[in-house]
Copies of this chain bind each other. A is one copy, B any other.
Amino acid sequence: MRSALDFLLRDWLAVEQLTFRPRFADHSHDTFAAILDTCERIAEDVFAPANRTVDIDEPRLVDGKVVLPDAAYVTARAYVESGMLAASHEASVGGMRLPYVIEMAANAMFAKAGVGVGGGSLLTVGNANLLMAHGTAEQRRVFAHNELSGRWFGTMCLSEPQAGSGLGDITTRALAEPGGADDPFGRRYRLHGNKMWISNGDHELTENIIHLVLAKVQDQAGRLPAGVKGISLFIVPKWLVDEQGKLTGERNDVVVAGLNHKLGYRGLPNTLLNFGEGRHVVRGQPGAVGYLVGRVGEGLKYMFHFMNEARIVIGLGAAALGYAGYEASLRYARERRQGRALTPDGKAAGSGAVCIIEHPDVRRMLLAQKAYSEGALALSLYCARLVDEINTASPEVGAEARCLLELLTPIAKSWPSEWCLEANSLAIQVHGGCGYTRDFPVEQYWRDNRLNMIHEGTHGIQALDLLGRKVRQDGGAAMRLFASRVDATVEAAAADPALQKYGTTLRGALRSLGRAIDGAWANGDHLEALSNATPFLQAFGHVVVAWLWLDLGLVAGRFPESARALGMRQAMRYFYEFELPKIAAWLGPVENCSRTCCAMQNEWFDA
């Protein structure tokens, strides 16, 4: 994977140019490389050996405590010591002012080695970053800083048993505490309710856990405001702390009520948490103590700070799992002997079995995995690079990057989740029967990866976001920007005889997307347009990745002697010949506003 990352970062995304910006002035090619080297070593030496252990020895709830294997502690500690929790921040909080794209590249190596180990850094970093952006000075100093140092870990508490995709229906209630207006950590409330699917919701990895909790502020009459506009955000520490960040010894009333027993991703305990059910009485009052973040009713807005970041990270994790399977099956295909080579005349060649990588169908499966997982990696890092543009480029460039990133976020989340899962299935297939056993790693990658189409907004939710909002907002500004980027690549490809035809194909694909959008919204009917949002999402994803592959093919052309570059060109060809043509099948029902799915009646599903 490192070879792919180096190509993407150095040759394609030109990350060294970031070092000319003041924010990254202390960095150089060498510091980036050193950080990636360190992370790669920790990932391979510490994370990789723990990956199967945490799958087998999954979290248990014993006497109200979450019991994890030693491997969970060792990897969490190793991640903290890598310094990556604060990577993007200032030295004053232990950070190294690292570009986001480098941080993501490093995280890809960790995720490839063990996606469910390391203590759930996504949650802690996301929590801290949210507080750094929207918290008060005190909230930042005490809560965020102690998370960035790894002293405490964080969670994000959104879903409830009755409300996941539909967050407007959450019922966790927050009651303003009398006399809580002048708490140094912000307006103090008492929270009551249940939160479901909370990753790392309880554990003993750190001395404290900082929950960020969505809840609704109850009015005098005991009513909760309706919908997502009624949602506020609260800091709820497991143990209360004083202004110096010292634990006061008071246990807050947030309790793990159960663990979810998952198909994969088992390294990370996934919990049901009860807030304020009275298990612990804090300072003589009922409810879990929580401090308001920002303003009442704006909780979901702040949470999107985290969710947008998380969606890129989820996609990156899916890409990394895809890559893990690709590497494993490549290794296997190079060693495993079976069958004879296919010859033009159909006769078996030679008397000995060949390595299965000699079989065209095995090469197809490896090439598909490469096209999926390197394409997904490129997509994730491209998006991460846009984050750096937003943060450190000129306002104009930054605004454009933001506009493009908003359009691409549903793709960055959904495309790797879907196609790197398929890559993992192909990795199993290359292994044959061996791939179906737990003696080989690929079945775990496949199980782990299945989560990614679900958490942080399901496929269906991403599709509604894309076709319902992103392609239409500001009169289609983001689509026009995207089209201009695609055009730039197509024009560059026109100068390369080997790539020209792919450029033409890509331009046609882009037009197909446009027609589908127009067709879907022809009558301005949301139901009609959005009934087929998911096939649109799939097609859009394939066009985005085809664009990236052509762009990668252009760069690869600069290195005609390099095996990596030749392989990338071949993966690009694979994508244009075998993958991109699928968009016609997806876009047909979108463009024609097919009512087949939405007209299907409940009672006709006669099973």
- Residues in A lying within 8 Å of B, measured CB to CB: 1, 3-4, 159, 162-166, 169, 196-197, 226-227, 260-264, 323, 326-327, 330, 334, 337-340, 342-346, 348, 351, 353, 357, 359-364, 366-367, 370, 421, 425, 428-429, 432-433, 435-439, 443, 446-447, 450-451, 453-455, 458-460, 463-464, 468, 525-528, 530-535, 563-564, 566-567, 570, 573-574, 577-579, 581-582, 584-585, 588-589, 592, 594, 596-607
Question: In the complex the two chains form, what is the Cα distance from A598 to B363 in whole Å?
Answer: 7
Residue contact B367 to A597, C-beta cutoff 8 Å: yes
Q: Which residues of B contact A577 (CB under 8 A)?
A: 588-589, 592, 594, 596
Q: Which residues of B contact A582 (CB under 8 A)?
A: 582, 585
Give the residue of B353, B563, B585 whose beta carbon is less than 8 angstroms from that of A585: B585
Task: Given A338-B165, A567-B605, verify A463-B585 contact (CB < 8 Å).
Answer: no
Question: In the complex the two chains form, what is the Cα distance from A342 to B534 in whole Å?
Answer: 15
Residue contact B364 to A534, C-beta cutoff 8 Å: yes
Question: In the complex the two chains form, what is the Cα distance from A4 to B606 in whole Å?
Answer: 8
Give the residue of B362, B566, B589 whose beta carbon is less than 8 angstroms from that of A604: B566
Minimum Cβ distance to chain B for residue A111 (Å): 15
Smallest Cβ-Cβ distance to A570: which chain B residue = B600
Q: Which residues of B contact A338 (CB under 8 A)?
A: 162-166, 169
Q: Which residues of B contact A602 (CB under 8 A)?
A: 334, 357
Task: Given A342-B527, A363-B598, A597-B360, verify A607-B323 contact (CB < 8 Å).
Answer: yes
Residue contact A526 to B344, C-beta cutoff 8 Å: yes
Task: Given A262-B437, A432-B164, A455-B433, verify A3-B606 contact (CB < 8 Å).
Answer: yes
The 6 closest A-B pairs by CB, nearest first: A567-B604, A581-B585, A346-B526, A360-B531, A364-B597, A360-B598
Residue contact B166 to A340, C-beta cutoff 8 Å: yes
Minimum Cβ distance to chain B for residue A269 (Å): 13
Task: Given A343-B526, A585-B584, A588-B577, verify A600-B363 contact (CB < 8 Å).
Answer: yes
Q: Which residues of B contact A165 (CB under 8 A)?
A: 338-339, 432
Question: In the complex the two chains form, what is the Cα distance from A207 to B533 in whole Å?
Answer: 57
Residue contact A570 to B599, C-beta cutoff 8 Å: yes
Task: Given A570-B599, A600-B570, verify A261-B437 contact (CB < 8 Å).
Answer: yes
Residue contact A454 to B437, C-beta cutoff 8 Å: no
Q: Which residues of B contact A464 (CB under 8 A)?
A: 361
Residue contact B454 to A570, C-beta cutoff 8 Å: no
Q: Which residues of B contact A463 (CB under 8 A)?
A: 361
Residue contact B605 to A370, C-beta cutoff 8 Å: yes
Minimum Cβ distance to chain B for residue A540 (Å): 15
Q: Which of A337, A340, A357, A527 has the most chain B CB atoms inside 10 A of its CB?
A: A527
Question: In the complex the two chains form, what is the Cα distance from A260 to B433 in whole Å?
Answer: 10
Task: Given A588-B581, A607-B3, verify A600-B567 contact (CB < 8 Å).
Answer: yes
Q: Which residues of B contact A226 (CB under 8 A)?
A: 351
Can you name 12 A-B residue pairings with CB atoms under 8 Å?
A: A162-B353, A260-B436, A263-B437, A263-B438, A334-B602, A343-B527, A361-B463, A361-B464, A446-B450, A563-B606, A564-B604, A570-B599
Question: In the complex the two chains form, what is the Cα distance from A170 to B582 in whole Å?
Answer: 40
Minimum Cβ distance to chain B for residue A583 (Å): 8
Q: Which residues of B contact A428 (CB under 8 A)?
A: 263, 450, 454
Question: In the complex the two chains form, what is the Cα distance from A53 to B597 in whole Å?
Answer: 36
